[in-house]
A = this chain, B = another copy of it.
């Protein structure tokens, strides 16, 4: 009993965390509950029931399968369902009519064959990337409705009556979903995509701002306080960088350094969000045909940069001893580069959030480039003076990865400009 109690508590904690991570999930659950109760009660009350008969249950069915988390997904599923039902219904009636002409013996053969052919062709079309991405659900509903109508065994005039009922109940169910999902605290896929891209930029920035301090921490923790070239102690450098802003480099805060990892695998999420965003009407700061594809391009660049960070991350906490005097020589430039590129990315993220021009990031990008130039000269002299050349290589690699990151930052800045 102790054990099971502990397990229940853990599950409860997990559930709570799911809600806390994104409170919109709770709202979404309540919205689905509301939509379903509304439709169910409409179906329950006699007047409606008398008009639509058992078809009313299609409204319930539609709500359950169509109501998705974001407005875009709901619209996409609803429209897919509506059009597919209409098209398949018409084709089904046609197939039915055709089979009637073939007499009693030919009827099941014609019906079976048409179901087989259409189902096989439609199922195959679901493998075509373009269809899969946008119309997958519609194709499923198409197969479903066509076979139901074709094989229903009713007379044609009965079928048309039935199809009319079914279509109108589906429209009722779909409209309920769309209205509730748009009117009550809507979740826009487009806005989510926008925020995700901005957040990912910020995660990169987090890592870069923290990296300098983390990589060179052995020196600081070690002997004396290292004094940077500008005369300030290095710790001071973090507390009070040139522009007077408080830098957010807390050395114990290692988890913030690992945040960027989620970017490595976020491609699927971004693709589906961009896909849903295309179905959404204009909302808030976004027009109807907002260039969502641009976000995907930007996201690809961000992921490229995250791969570089992943390579860089391997050097934090590596066991290889780097000659301290060499490290001391390059650390100023390295820290500046990572800090400034971090700041540039943060500004870019801000400018995406506020949808203003990214001009504030430009000076930081300039600083990065200058530091990269300085680093190249420093490296030249430092390498010449140094005897333990082998030990230097990991540090040199870090430096050269940082240079790549600066290049990547520049590209991202250009892309945000667009």
Contact = CB atoms under 8 A, between A and B. Distances in A.
A305 B393 CA distance: 20
Interface string A2-13: 000000000000
Contact of A33 (B120, B396, B400): B120
Nearest to A124: B29
Nearest to A145: B64
Given A65-B140, A384-B389, A390-B380, A33 B116 contact: yes
Contact of A115 (B37, B123, B125): B37
B389 A64 contact: no
Nearest to A25: B127
A151 B40 contact: yes
Given A33-B117, A33-B123, A393 B400 contact: yes
A68 to B, nearest CB: 10
A121 to B, nearest CB: 7
A265 B150 CA distance: 42
A128 B379 contact: no
A34 B121 CA distance: 12
A34 to B, nearest CB: 7
A250 interface: no
Contacts of A115: 33, 36-37, 40
A126 B65 CA distance: 13
Nearest to A142: B64
Interface hub of A127, A140, A310 (most chain B Cβ within 10 A): A127
A28 B122 CA distance: 11
Contacts of A180: none
Interface stretch (A14-22, A210-218, A334-342): A14-22
Contacts of A233: none
A41 B117 CA distance: 14
Interface hub of A60, A117, A119 (most chain B Cβ within 10 A): A119
Q: Oligomeric state, in number of copies?
A: 2
Interface string A237-251: 000000000000000
Contact of A119 (B32, B61, B125): B32
A155 to B, nearest CB: 14
Contacts of A121: 29
Given A123-B28, A123-B29, A147-B40, A400 B389 contact: no
A119 B36 contact: yes
Given A112-B41, A116-B37, A314-B404, A140 B379 contact: no
A187 to B, nearest CB: 12
B389 A60 contact: no
Contacts of A399: 393
A117 B45 CA distance: 20
A98 interface: no
Contact of A127 (B18, B57, B64, B394): B18
A60 B147 contact: yes
B120 A30 contact: yes
B32 A120 contact: yes
A108 B125 CA distance: 44
Contacts of A264: 264, 307
Q: Which 5 A-B pairs have the closest CB atoms?
A: A33-B120, A29-B124, A383-B389, A33-B116, A29-B123
22 contacts: A18-B128, A19-B124, A25-B124, A29-B119, A29-B120, A33-B119, A34-B116, A37-B112, A37-B113, A37-B116, A40-B147, A43-B151, A54-B54, A57-B148, A57-B152, A61-B148, A311-B311, A314-B404, A379-B393, A393-B396, A397-B397, A397-B401
Given A40-B150, A54-B54, A57-B148, 19 more contacts: A18-B127, A22-B127, A29-B120, A29-B127, A32-B123, A32-B143, A33-B117, A33-B123, A36-B143, A36-B147, A41-B151, A44-B111, A268-B268, A308-B311, A314-B404, A376-B390, A380-B389, A396-B396, A397-B401
